[in-house]
Structures are given as structure tokens and as C-alpha cells.
Amino acid sequence: MKATAVAPANIALIKYWGKKDSTLRIPLNPSISMNLSACTTTTTVEFSDDFEKDVVTEGFDRQRIIQHLDRFRTITQTHKKARMSTKNSFPTSAGIASSASGFAALTMAASAALGLKFSEKELTGFARLGSGSACRSIPDGFVKWEGEAAHSLYPETHWDLRDIIVIVEHTEKKVSSSAGHDLVHTSPNLQKRLADLPNRIVRIEEALRTKNFQMFGEVIEEECLDMHHVMQTQNPPLFYWNDTTKTIMDAVRTWRKEGLPVYFTIDAGPNVHLMCEGMDERRVLETLKTIVGIESIIFNKSAPGAHVIEMHLF
Ligand code: PMV
């Protein structure tokens, strides 16, 4: 009763910010993301009658993990305790949210260890209960999350897009996204955002379908700035950017004027995700070297979703 699964983190092209139902983590709006090849979590879960208590990886949100294991114990009506170990392919101190890859890998490993035969849709529903954005790390490639479940729009082979994550700060974010989601209604700009999103979603889906990079880039920057506008006008306001974040955002506009097709997006932290097509990655890297204040850089392609890589049947 032991299984190991690997799951990617994902970058939101259309962001999830705010919940309709906090307990069930039902989002206010659909979101769309790309799985990241270089940011994965590998998790092993073992259930046994011999274990006296749950032993889970330290440093990660212990209570939330045990709550998640309980969901699987409830449906299988087992009281077996679990041992769980987990490893990120990226430095945990890189300031990249590991909850998406973490809860997606945990969901896959725990259900495989218990012999559960869930559909992909059901797995996304379970992952969502652990952490909202985790449901987008289960299907392959480019993924849309609507309501209770997520599904793949296109496999990772659809379009050679790159996400160059520019790490400008290694420290943990001061305000967790869970706490931030709950205060979204205090922003006077939320209603406008929700009214604008359906059109933005139509445009990003069109850009993905036709592989129109300019349209893709314009939508992801508009969306990033809109989500951060809402965050910054919440009460209390949430400012995730630092000086280097802003320097890079400005520089990206200059680089585009100079003929380099690259756009940015930013999640709940100061690190900048630079998105370009595969053929332009080297040029983006060369240009990036002129910026002071960068701590490290992670190169991602679009990646498959979560999958089981090892099972022990007894
Ligand atoms: O899944 P959470 O609660 O970590 O929220 C994710 C929030 C953002 O990263 C800002 C946006 C997103 O859709 O991933």
C-alpha cells in the first residue's frame, strides 16, 4: 500500500483569485494555466496498520496534509496511518508556491496507494480540496479549471512555450494566498474584474488554439496586472512586488519595442515569469543578464500532468 507520484507546478495565465465557497475551494472565476517542466514535486505515501501515527514531511503545511489524507481514509473507510515523504525539484526556498505540485502529487500518490480508481476529473476535485491551484496540476499541458474540476485544453506538445522564472527573492511570501483569497471582496475593483474575465478567457483560448503569441502575451500581461490591481486594493492591501520585479516589468516592455517577443506574468509573490516561444528563449536569457538583482533563473517548458511513477502492491 505504497505509491510514488510526481506532479508539476503550474503558472496561471488566467488567475484564480477569490473563492465562491471557501471550504470547498470553488473559485469565483475559471482559470487557465500551463504546467511547468522544471518545477515538480515527487511524493511517496504509504498506508499501514503497523504505523501508530501519521508521519509527514516537516516544513510543509502539516495540518493541511493530514486533513487531505483523512479525505482518502474517509472514502475507503480505513483507519490506517500514513507515512509521507516529499521532494521538490526546485529549491523550496525559491519562493515558488509548492502547494499546487505538492497537493497534486499527494492526491495521486494517496489514491494509488489505497488502490482507488478515480477518473482524472475526480482526481482534480480531490486535489482542489487540498489547494485550489493543485487541481490544474493533474491534467496534461494547458489546463482549464472551472467550478469543481479541471481538464486539459491541449497536451504539452501543442505549443513550444517557455516560462523563464526569474527569482528575485528567495524568502517565503509574507501573506499566504489562502488568506489573500478570503479578502478579495474588500476590493472595489473585483466586480469590474469579474465582468471583464469572460472576454479575456475567450481571447486566451483563441490565442492558444491559433498559437498567436502576440495575442497570448497581451492577454497574460493584462490579466496579471488586473489581478494585482485587485490584490493591491484589498483591505489590507497586498503588495507582492519588489523593486527588481518592477525593473523587470519595465524592461520587458523595452525589449518588446526592440523586437524581442516576451511577456510577463506574476503570481502571489515577487518572482517574474517571462513567457516566450522556444525559438526566442536564448535571446531572452542573454537580455536578462543585463538586469541587476536576479538571484536565479528556472527554465520551464510545458509539461504533462501528475502521474504515478512507482507502486508497491504489498
Ligand atoms: O491555490 P492557491 O490558494 O495557492 O492560489 C493561487 C493564487 C495565484 O497563484 C495567485 C493564482 C493562480 O491561479 O495560481
Give the pLDDT of residue 62.
87
How far apart, in whole angstroms, are the C-alpha atoms of residue 301 and residue 60?
A: 26
Question: ∠238-241-245 over CA atoms, to 5°?
Answer: 165
Per-residue pLDDT for 91 more than 80? no
Q: For residue 40, name the pLDDT band (cuts at 50, 70, 90).
A: very high
Pocket test for ligand 1, best of 128, 135, 177 (most atoms within 8 A of CB): 177
Distance 62 CA to ligand 1 centre (A): 19
Q: Side chain identity at 181, as an amino acid letter?
A: H
Distance 15 CA to ligand 1 centre (A): 7
DSSP element (H, E) containing 26? strand 26-27
Q: For residue 59, name the pLDDT band (cuts at 50, 70, 90).
A: low
Q: For residue 121, name the pLDDT band (cuts at 50, 70, 90).
A: very high
Residue 133 alpha carbon, nearest atom of ligand 1? 1
Q: What is the mean pLDDT of residues 76-83?
A: 95
pLDDT digits (tens, 9 = 90+) for 139-168: 999 999 999 999 999 999 999 999 999 999
Pocket test for ligand 1, best of 223, 267, 273 (most atoms within 8 A of CB): 267
Per-residue pLDDT for 94 more than 80? no
pLDDT digits (tens, 9 = 90+) for 189-222: 999 999 999 999 999 999 999 999 999 999 999 9
Give the pLDDT of residue 256.
98
DSSP 44-110: EEEEETT-SS-B--TTS-HHHHHHHHHHHHHHHT---EEEEEEEESS-GGG----HHHHHHHHHHHH
Sheet holding 161-167, edge to edge: 263-265, 272-277, 161-167, 296-301
Give the pLDDT of residue 95.
63
How far apart, in whole angstroms, are the C-alpha atoms of residue 220 and residue 273?
A: 11
CA 150 to chain centre: 13
What percentage of the chain has pLDDT greater than the value 90? 89
Question: Which protein residues are within 6 Å of ligand 1, measured from CB?
Answer: 12, 15-17, 31, 97, 99, 131-133, 177-178, 181, 267-268
Q: What are the structural domains of the chain?
A: 2-157+306-312 (3.30.230.10), 161-301 (3.30.70.890)
Instruction: Output the CA torsion 285→91→176→82 (10° steps).
Output: 140
Residue 227 alpha carbon, nearest atom of ligand 1? 10
DSSP element (H, E) containing 192? helix 190-210
Give the pLDDT of residue 172.
65
Distance 314 CA to ligand 1 centre (A): 37
Distance 254 CA to ligand 1 centre (A): 28
Query: What does each C-alpha distance from 311 to 47, 115, 235 come to in angstroms?
Result: 12, 10, 47
Give the pLDDT of residue 158.
98
How far apart, in whole angstroms, are the C-alpha atoms of residue 66 and residue 51?
A: 14
Distance 181 CA to ligand 1 centre (A): 9
Work out the number of other CB atoms within 10 angstroms of the CB of residue 50: 8
Calculate the average pLDDT of the chain: 94
Per-residue pLDDT for 92 more than 80? no
Query: What does each C-alpha distance from 7 to 36, 140, 229, 269, 303 come to in angstroms?
Result: 9, 10, 30, 21, 9
**Full-model pTM:** 0.96
The contacts of residue 215 (CB under 8 Å, 6+ apart) are 203, 206, 207
For ligand 1, atom 6: residue with the closest CA: 133
The contacts of residue 71 (CB under 8 Å, 6+ apart) are 126, 129
Distance 80 CA to ligand 1 centre (A): 32
Residue 178 alpha carbon, nearest atom of ligand 1? 3
Per-residue pLDDT for 311 more than 90? yes
Pocket test for ligand 1, best of 11, 14, 15, 230 (most atoms within 8 A of CB): 15
